[in-house]
Structure formats: structure tokens, C-alpha cells
Amino acid sequence: MLRLVQGLRLSSNSNSNELSAKAAEIYRECFAELAASSCPLSQHKCNSNSNGQHSTLLQCFDAKPSNQTESIAPSPDDVWIFGYGSLVWKADFPYIDRRRGFVCGYKRRFYQHSIDHRGIPERPGRVVTLLPGDLTQDRVYGVAYRIAAAQKSQVLDHLDYREKNGYERCNLEFHEYPSTTMPIEVIIYVATQSNDSYAGHVWQVPCIARQIFTSAGPSGPNREYLFNLFIAMQELFPDVVDEHLTELVDCVKQYIKNEEPALLEQALKAQINCILSEFLAKDASEQQQEAIAQRLEALLERCQQPGWREELLIQELQERTI
């Protein structure tokens, strides 16, 4: 980076047009490839098979129904937990069995704000909850996990904390897919419409998609949550269509394709220009050049961290509305 900065022949006499040109050069050399590397859909990866190729989520699901290192026998005191959002692909708790299936009479919607996982309080993301629907027509597909009696208290405490932002427990009947076995009673976490983070008053798909497009939190980008759920549904339930989920994915992909490249480019060039302007208030001595290079390296490092895109996207969009 220092060699690049030295080659630009920076001077405190540089005008705004010259600085913009130099910022554009730095962008092309160091940031353009990174900004263009956004993948529209994240990829599930499971354990490699004997040929070194990654199996699909469904193959992993069927091959390994338990995540326990030691076999634990089922008992009447076990409980089942049903996941219809991130729990479908991220069950970060011990379970002794898992099954694909659905609950009846509900619709899955991205009507809940996330301020602790896929967003932050000042910029909430969107995650799923359930809305009452038609008992005979509406189904929500997901995964039920069997929790051993000895681990029940630990797992429920963990999930109560994980789902603390507006979710409450309730019990429903779970139907296995594609089997026709007897229903299983499951515990499910639902964010009610009376909780502080309920966001169903803004229900239009383009509005929700734009929020997802520009949100990220401690658990990562909001789009990752959306894409992971979409891929999981495709692989676990290939003949089921979730129209709300599909429309959101298509809309976010359009934002990524049509708006993200230009927004990121402008935001990064503005950041680079700001660094150059700040350090060129004085003559561009060797020390000043080193300081510029260090700040640019710090910016580049920041752009390797989760959520960097969303941070710059929302910043650029705010700048354009001022």
C-alpha cells in the first residue's frame, strides 16, 4: 500500500478533482475486486464425502440425525423443539434426533425486527415469525429436534436467551415430512404482534427486502439469514414453494445486482478521498505517506469483516437522501 501511495505523487496543493482521481486509482487497485465479490446466495457446506466433495444439506440431514458424540436413548421425558428460521440450519444445542416436517395453520413472515442478531438497535434487520392462517391451507415447514430429558433444561434456557427479542414459547402439533406418522407435540418460539420488535406494519416485500439488503448484526449480514433459509427450504423440501420467502430472495438479489456495485464504489471512494484530504492538509512528507498507507490498510482490513457492505451501503444511501 505504501508503494502505491508513494507512486501517486500526492501533494498538499492537490485540488479536489486531483484527489478524486487519486482516490479512484486506489479504489481500482485495492478495493474494486473486493467490492465486486458479493455472492448472491451463500452456500451450505457439510462434511466432505470420500471424494472430497461437499454433500448437500439433505444428505447431511439424513446421514446424521443426532449431533451427540455418545448415543443417548430416547425417553418419555424428552421434548421436541421446532425451528422454522435460523434453527433450521443452525441448531447450536445438543439433540438426539431431528426430523423434517411442518406445522399447520400458520404462515411464515419476515415480520420481526432483529436488533441483537441480524441487525442493531439503530438499524434493525428482519427475521421470521409466524402469523395465524388457515388451518387446512397454510403450513410452515422446518425441522423438529428431539432434546434428551437430561439436557432439556440447559437447551431451553439457551433458546430462551437466543430468542429473547420478543419471542414466546407455545406448543403445536408437528407433522413429519414426507411420512404420515402420528403428529408430535413440539415447543415453538413465536414473536407475537404485541412485542416491541414486531414489524408487520411494514409488510411490503420491497421495503422488507431493502431493510435486509442494508442490515447486519453480531450474527452476520441479514441477507445471509435470508439466503440460508431459502437454500435450506429448497434442499429439505424440494417440492414446497414459500412465496413470501421466494419473493424476498428475488427482490434482495435485484438490489444486490442493480444497486450494490455503484453504492459500494461511491462509498469506498468517499472514504479513500476523506483519508487523502485529512492527511494532505500538510505537505505529503514521508511520514504523511506512511500515515495514509496505514489508514488505507485499516480500511481494507475493515472490508474483510462481516457486515462491512451493509455499513457502507446504509451510509451511502443516507448521504444521498441528505
Model confidence at 43: pLDDT above 60: no
**What are the residue ranges spanned by the domains of the chain?**
1-37+257-320, 79-201
Q: What is the mean pLDDT of the chain?
A: 88
CATH code of the domain occupying 79-201: 3.10.490.10
Give CB contacts under 8 A, 24+ apart, made by 269-273: 269/20, 269/23, 269/24, 269/27, 270/316, 270/319, 271/299, 271/312, 272/23, 272/26, 272/27, 272/31, 272/296, 272/299, 273/19, 273/20, 273/23
pLDDT in tens, 9-28: 777 677 888 888 989 999 99
Whether 163 sits among the annotated catalytic residues: the reply is yes
> Of 53-67, 215-229, 257-271, which gets the smallest average pLDDT?
53-67
163, 260, 265, 316: which one is catalytic? 163
Most confident of 18-32, 82-96, 282-296: 82-96
Closest CA to 148 of 96, 185, 91: 96
Q: What is the pTM of this model?
A: 0.86
